[in-house]
Amino acid sequence: NFEGFTDDFEVTIEDNFAETLPVRENTTASKYITALGENYHVTVKKNGSKVSENTTLCTGMEILIVNKTTYQVSTQTVVVYGDVNGDGVVDLVDMLQLRKVHAGWKAPSNNESYKKEGIYAVAGDMNNDDKIDMVDLLKVRKIIANWTN
């Protein structure tokens, strides 16, 4: 298991929603919706369009949650730690992009798939220390190699 994550998860909704929603790689929208329970109506969107429940959650997707009892509304942005290009998979492409960011390369202005800031930077900051460094690269490498220690 990756630090802080388990294969099974429970979603708890509080009065104050978080703005980001960290999920494990390969989590489907339906698994997340099921974990929330029957008291919530959930809509998942990618690039502004609704996705099906069998879609794998990716960094940058938005989840609209409505409490069916209180009608409280929350919008959360999905973060899959290590998924810095927003395809929902942590792979060599993500590691290479993190290496470029760590080396100080700037993303081309026409390439939204990786950035040094925003939600994709949050996905790359594997240890939540507000920077992309070798520790983050090693953690992504461990995920790719399926290392458990």
Neighbours of 58 (CB within 10 A): 22
What is the pLDDT at residue 148? 55
Average pLDDT over residues 103-130: 69
Neighbours of 55 (CB within 10 A): 15
Strand 20-23 to 73-80 pairing:
parallel
Average pLDDT, the chain: 79
Q: Which residue has the higher pLDDT, 5 or 124?
A: 124
Contacts of 19 (CB under 8 A, 6+ apart): 76, 77
Question: pTM for this one?
Answer: 0.75
Residues 58-98 pLDDT 10s: 998 999 999 999 999 988 889 899 999 889 899 999 999 88
Q: What amino acid is encoded at 101 in this protein?
A: V
What is the pLDDT at residue 106? 58
Q: Which of 55, 53, 73 is nearest to 64 (CA)?
A: 73
